[in-house]
Structure 1
Amino acid sequence: MAENEISGGSLGNVVQAREVHQLTINASAETAIPRYLRYPARWPLASGWDALSSGVHKARPGGDGSRIPPYVPRDMDAALRERIARGGLVLVVGDSTAGKTRAAFEAIRTVFPGHRVLAPPIGSSLRHAPDAVERSGLSSVVWLDNLEKYLVPDGLEPEVLADFTQLRTPVVATMRLKAYETFTDEHDSGTGSQVLRAAEIFDLHRLWSDAELSRAAGCGDSRILDALAHHALFGVAEYLAAGPALLQEWRRARSINGHARGAALVAAAVDLARTGLRAPWPRTLLAELHEHHLAAAGGAVLRPESLDAAFAWASRIRYGVTSLLLPAQDDAGGEGWGPFDYLVDQTDSEIPSQAWEAALVHASDDTDLLAISKNAFDAAPQVAERALRPLAVSGLRTSAFNLGFLLNRQGREAEARQWWTVAADRGLGRAALRLALLAARDGALTESREWCMRAISYGPTHISDKATELLNAL
């Protein structure tokens, strides 16, 4: 008999046999777990957590070359830290560069210095995250900067949040104000809005209070003192991140002998971001879409630079902080681009039809379509309908409900009822309640009672309560 010996290294599946006629090897459980969850001991300790890796915006370099200025306490710090210590989902909401991430980062480091920080990569599944925390036995806190990017299928769904809460694992997150408003529209009954209803919200204002300005004046950092000189127009954190300076440069560039093509590229990127399509995007897409902005600004009269020169100008680092266009690799490992988010938040012009169409064409999955449908719901209803239909057909009950809401708002009640019925048949209480109300309006009391009973059984509590009230009134 032959003997085999293996030394050193590690093994996965090993088969030793003289003959193999049929063989099935099932993947180990570990391979189903996302890589970021496999080694909890490598998650950073909060006490040594790096501010830039948490998502804090870079500031203008200090005299010592530092990229992060000293922290100036905000008025809400004490309340934020006390609430974070009690667990659950705590969300800091505010404009881009208002200081959300820095305030939450400092709160986590102060309240949980010995905790491991679980910061899932954007786009990764969170389904196994509670189990990973529980198996690790480590005290942990979950960090979700830009929460809207995690309110997607297989992301921070209500069940995942409930598991974290049961484990007494705090979840701390930030969210830009525009994104928050999108997810809390009255028509939105998706899992994202359900998660936000469970959150404790802290609003952080862009402009600083007198008390905050007073504390800033005593910090001694030249960058902060410079920002104080501009506080009448801008927030201190906003100025430190160079947001106003980059916005002004972008707007000035749309002129003769400026950087008209570069400014148009940035405008195209800002529009795409506002549609909900996730960055990064290929150079070819921005090159295609920018022509609309360039023509609207004056076209050849502006003496626009070459495309290569335009990308070089838009991607140049300003003030040692950031650039108008941010380079990144796309999913295929190629060159990709996205805009500085401050520019997105400061733009409220109408999104051109070319951008909406490009967003629909380049949507890569349900996550993109969901985001596009939310952003287009009021601004471009026909686009929202095109984004919602495939989601509703695929079985997403909240998308079916929202499609019904959209159609009903356009006077297409018969179609709306069909999609609300689809959503209700898939167990969505809000859809069943809507159908109960319509049946009651039409005098179909037996049908209304049936829908009420279904709404009561589906929940959640606030829907069940409303359905019970209607049922008692019939």
Structure 2
Amino acid sequence: MGEQNVSGGEQGHVVQARDIENLTITPPASPPEPGSADSPLLRYLRHPESWPVAREWQALPAGVHRARPGEDGTGLPPYVPRDADGQVRDHLRTASAWGGMILLVGDSTAGKTRTAFEALRAVLPHYRVLAPPAGGGKLWQVAEAAHGGGEPCVLWLDDLERYLGPDGLEPVVLEELGRSHVPVLATMRSKPFQNLRTGPSQQVLNVAEIVDLGRLWSESELSRAAECPDPRIADALAHHDLYGVAEYLAAGPALLREWRQAWSADGHARGAALVAAAVDLSRCGLPGPYPTDLLTEIHERHLRDANGSYLRPEPLAAAFDWAGRVRHGVTSMLLPADDGLWEPFDYLVDHAGPGVPDWMWDAALTHARDDTDRFVIGLHAYGVRPQAAETAWRQVHDHGHLLGTYNLAVLLADAGHTDEAEALYRQAHEKEYPRATNNLALLLRGQGKAAEAEALYRQAAARGYTKAAYNLGVLLEELGRTEEAEPLFRHMHDQGFRIATNNLANLRKQAGALDEAETLYRLAHEDGVLKATYNLALLLAGTDRAAEAEELYRVAHARGYQHATYNLALLLARQGRAEEAEAFFKHPHNQHNPNAVYNLAVLMQETGYPEEADRYYRRASAAGHPRATLGYANLAETTGRLDLAEKLYREAHAQGYVDATYRLARLLTTTGRTEEAERCYELAHRGGHPEALVELALLLVETGRSQLTDDTAAPDDGPT
């Protein structure tokens, strides 16, 4: 269940739908409770003089993956400039002046941490680096320490997902850091980013400047790498068709291959199972490192599921030795931590293959240390194992945590348990949590309780929740109160809330102010609002600027906007570009779109492929397209299948299509059934068909009659 802030055109019509917020990792801005004086975070924060200076900091402590050692024993090869360097460094300069977060997103071993590290040393060499340990404290304390440290500093959050959750990186923490002009430089693997961005975790992630870093290098990056004299780079370049350069240097593919091959009778089945236990616990969201006893317990089930007794697994001590052995001078599958703790190599986590077994979620929850662990496990389970998410969040809710209450309500609403969801939303609403107020309003709006929904949206908006103000505007527009909706959208537009800019453009378009609507759509489009890109294309297509509209439709199509794919196909068909139109009508975006299937049938008929047209008309008719039966009847008539054509015309007539009644009359005339044809012409004429009266008059003349009959009965033999 993702964001549903829908507004704008759909196949030529302006459509607006409501917004629903998803899972959140952002608690309300309430006064924090004092943290534990003995927490690792507080111990770290008490000594700002120990925070490294960026120009003196080393890459490995920063979190950069080790690489294959060089001939001279060096741990890391020279840095090869990446295409994203300029973007990262520009964002970092801006954030150092005004505050803000830069987030590098990419696969494990894509080079995110190295790129961020090199940017930090290049742009802010004299800054202290505040790199707090994950867990064990409240991140609002970081903002206090950064403000009081006495020297400029940057907050470094490698693997950002470790810092999200209750008492984690909250919007209020980011705001406080921004007021102190403390930039935040963070990295995040692609899979956690995709898992967490669809919920109200967006409230944190959406304020970041996102920089995507590809696993496979571009031609320009490969060219720069070729100029590097380090033999390790040259070796990686030789494998770049399959692997990214940084990926190969970090030995990720080699370890993944060895792990997969270990599940055999002559391999290391127990060692592979130990690695699988750590990998799956990580994929469930249980933070590591993991105790030896836990991996020992969990791996037995993995081994049993793989028919372990037939694989003749090695002894446990040998299995840990194998899993913890360093390969290629780089890393091991299990990374040892203090006191007998282990973490999986994150490359294996990202490339483990099929989903986590159902029983693993129960195991992860059983070994969760606190409600923060349970909460994060719920985030990872949401969307893939909702039962586990419900179990996790019920426990957090039962312990009195507001975020557990809210997320449980979202999950239950998604599953259709609206009564319990409403009760939970009301609990969170009464504690003045505006996201719950917003979603309660949404739930009630869906039940037709518009007045109560409006009051709740107004309360949430008054508490500073911008999306509630947006939803209020959408509701007012749906109720026909556009004179109230427009000032709301305009105010949010002035504040830079570009989805509201799109909605304001819709209203101005409806009012006939096309130039203003175009300007507004362009602003929202340039700021990345996909609906605005599509709506701008609709506007331009309607004003005979087809080339510009086509370009924008293609942009929206490439970004996954399904209606753009359909409208692009229509545009191409109208221009006579049949082959291109056919390809877009057949695109997977249109797989479940009856309009696309119907128009594809029309296109096939017009371009001389009646058999394909026949097939697509039947598909569109079965999918319920209102004009498909009539189109199929016309095709049947033109291909000489008159009995089928008559049957289909009668069906379309029964569906209320006047043109079907008229065409049925013509068909009846040609087959000599003039009395029934006369009645059909009369019905078509009374239904407004422009040619029916003339045809009726001609029929009366031909049959020697001179006046219309009052008989308006339906044709003989109703629809079959």
Return the match for 1:107 from 110, 119, 122: 119
Counterpart check, 1:133 vs 2:149: no
Identity %: 52
Picking from 437, 449, 471, the partner of 1:444 is 449
Q: Is the 1:398–1:428 contact (alpha carbons within 8 Å) kept by the matching residues of 2?
A: no
Q: Deviations over 1:113-150 (max 9, x none)?
A: 11111111111432222222222220111111011111
Is it true that 1:385 corresponds to 2:390 in the alignment? Answer: yes
1:253 is matched with 262
TM-score, structure 1 as length reference: 0.89
AA matched with 1:144? L
- Whether 2:50 is the aligned partner of 1:45: answer no
Match of 2:434 among 429, 432, 435: 429
User: How many angstroms apart in 2 are the aligned matches of 1:430 and 1:348?
Assistant: 35
* Residue 157 of structure 2: aligned partner: 144
Q: Is the Cα–Cα contact under 8 Å of residues 196 and 202 in structure 2 kept in the other structure?
A: yes
Q: How many angstroms apart in 1 are the aligned matches of 2:196 and 2:243?
A: 27
Q: Match for residue 407 of structure 1?
A: 412
Task: Give the one of 55, 66, 87 matched to 1:79.
Answer: 87
Once the two structures are overlaid, the 10-residue window that deviates more, 361-370 or 128-137, is 128-137
Alignment map for 1:75-474 (pairs within 5 Å): 75-87=83-95, 88-123=100-135, 124-185=137-198, 188-189=199-200, 192-329=201-338, 334-471=339-476, 473-474=478-479
Q: Which runs of 4+ in 1 moved over 6 A?
A: 29-33
Distance 2:295 2:211 in 1: 36
In structure 2, what is the Cα distance between the partners aligned to 1:381 and 1:134? 41
Question: In 2, distance between residues paired with 1:445 and 1:201?
Answer: 37
What is the Cα deviation at residue 471 of structure 1? 4.5
Residues 410-430 of structure 1 show CA distances to partners (whole Å, capped at 9, x for unaligned) of 221111111121222222323
Partner of residue 68, structure 1: 76
For residues 455 and 146 of structure 1, what CA distance do their matches in structure 2 show?
32
Q: Secondary structure at the match of 2:303?
A: helix
Kept in 2, the 8 Å contact 1:325–1:339? The answer is yes
Distance (whole Å) between structure 1 residues aligned to residue 411 and residue 367 of structure 2: 23
Residues 283-318 of structure 1: CA distance to partner in whole angstroms, max 9, x if unpaired? 222122212222232322212111111111111111
User: 1:242 is matched by which residue type in structure 2?
Assistant: A
Measured after TM superposition, the shift of residue 398 of structure 1 is: 3.4
Q: Distance in 2 between matches of 1:125 and 1:401?
A: 21
Amino acid at match of 1:310: A
Q: Distance in 2 between matches of 1:470 and 1:354?
A: 43
Partners of 2:160 and 2:188 within 8 A in 1: yes
Tell me how far apart the structure 2 counterparts of residues 440 and 293 of structure 1 sit (CA, whole Å): 47
- Asked if 2 retains the 8 angstrom alpha-carbon contact of 1:55 and 1:101, the reply is yes
- Pick closer, same or farther for the CA change 1:158–1:319 going to 2, 3 Å: same
Q: Summarize the Cα distance change of 1:136–1:289 in structure 2 as closer, same or farther, 3 Å threshold.
A: closer
1:435 and 1:199, CA in 2 relative to 1: closer, same or farther beyond 3 A? same
Q: Distance in 1 between matches of 2:306 and 2:178?
A: 52
Report the Cα offset of residue 30 of structure 1.
8.6
TM-fit CA distance, 1:328: 1.5
- CA-based RMSD of the aligned residues comes to 1.9
Which amino acid in the other structure matches residue 289 of structure 2?
P
Deviation at residue 395 of structure 1 after TM alignment: 3.9
Alpha-carbon displacement from aligned partner over 1:205-248 (angstroms, at most 9, x marks no partner)? 10000100010011111111101111001000000000000000
Cα 1:439/1:353, change in 2 over 3 Å:
closer
* Gap regions ≥5 residues in structure 2: 1-33, 480-720
Equivalent position SS for 1:378: coil
Letter matched to residue 94 of structure 2? R
Answer whether contact 1:133 1:140 (CA < 8 A) is retained: yes
Residues of 2 paired with 1:126 and 1:398: CA distance? 17
Structure 2: how far apart are the matches of 1:388 and 1:471?
34
Contact in 1 for aligned 2:101/2:207 (Cα 8 Å): yes
SS at match of 2:452: helix
Structure 1 residues 437 and 155: alpha-carbon distance in aligned structure 2, compared to 1, 3 A threshold = closer
- Please, which moves more after superposition, 353-362 or 55-64? 353-362
Q: 1: distance between equivalents of 2:116 and 2:372?
A: 26
Q: Distance in 1 between matches of 2:415 and 2:437?
A: 20
Q: Which has the higher helix share?
A: 2
Q: Distance in 2 between matches of 1:276 and 1:440?
A: 34
- Judged with a 3 Å threshold, the aligned counterparts in structure 2 of structure 1 residues 397 and 250 are, in CA distance, closer, same or farther, namely same
Contact 2:271 2:320 in 1 (8 A): yes
Partner of 1:14: none
Range with bigger deviation, 262-271 or 448-457: 448-457
CA distance in 1 between counterparts of 2:379 and 2:237 reads: 37
Q: Write the distance in 2 (CA, Å) between the matches of 1:364 and 1:71.
A: 40
Moved more, 343-352 or 128-137: 128-137
Q: Are residues 1:34 and 2:42 paired? A: yes
Contact 2:278 2:295 in 1 (8 A): yes
**Conserved? CA contact 1:452–1:471, under 8 Å:** no
Deviations 1:357-392 (A, max 9, x none): 111111011221121101111221111101011222
**Of the two, which has the highest radius of gyration?**
2
C-alpha displacement of 1:341: 0.6
Q: Identify if the C-alpha distance between structure 1 residues 468 and 397 changes in structure 2 by more than 3 Å, giving closer, same or farther.
A: farther
Q: In terms of mean alpha carbon deviation, does 30-39 or 159-168 score higher?
A: 30-39
The C-alpha deviation readout for 1:237-273, integer Å capped at 9, x for no partner, is: 0000000000000001111211111111111111111
* CA-CA distance at 1:473 after TM superposition: 4.7
Measure, in 2, the Cα distance between the counterparts of 1:452 and 1:57: 47
The answer to which structure, 1 or 2, has the higher relative contact order (CA under 8 A, 6+ apart) is 1
SS of the residue aligned with 2:186? strand
Q: CA deviation at 1:457?
A: 1.7
With 389-398 and 263-272 compared, the bigger mean Cα shift is at: 389-398
Give the conservation status (yes or no) of the 8 Å contact 2:458–2:468: no
Query: Could you list the per-position Cα deviations for residues 422-441 of structure 1 after superposition, in whole angstroms to 9, with x for gaps in the alignment?
Result: 22222232322222233233
Q: Count residues in correspondence.
A: 439
Distance 1:30 1:322, change over 3 A: closer
Tell me the CA shift for residue 282 of structure 1: 1.8
- Give the distance between the partners of 2:149 and 2:453, measured in 1 at CA: 50
User: CA, structure 1 residues 308+405, in 2 after alignment: closer, same or farther (shift >3 Å)?
Assistant: same
1:142 maps to a residue whose letter is: L
How many angstroms apart in 1 are the aligned matches of 2:81 and 2:103? Answer: 18
Question: Matched residues in 2 for 1:155 and 1:446: separation?
Answer: 36
Shift of 1:31: 8.0
Equivalent AA in structure 2 for residue 198 of structure 1: V
Task: Identify if the C-alpha distance between structure 1 residues 440 and 136 changes in structure 2 by more than 3 Å, giving closer, same or farther.
Answer: closer
Q: Output the CA distance in 2 between the equivalents of 1:148 and 1:437.
A: 29
Shift of 1:472: 6.0
In 1, Cα distance between the equivalents of 2:352 and 2:451?
50
Deviation of 1:277 after TM superposition, in Å, equals 0.5
TM-score (norm 2): 0.59
Report the AA paired with residue 100 of structure 1.
K
Q: Which amino acid aligns with 1:102?
A: R
Change (3 A) 1:300 1:439: closer
How far has the Cα of 1:407 moved from its partner?
1.3
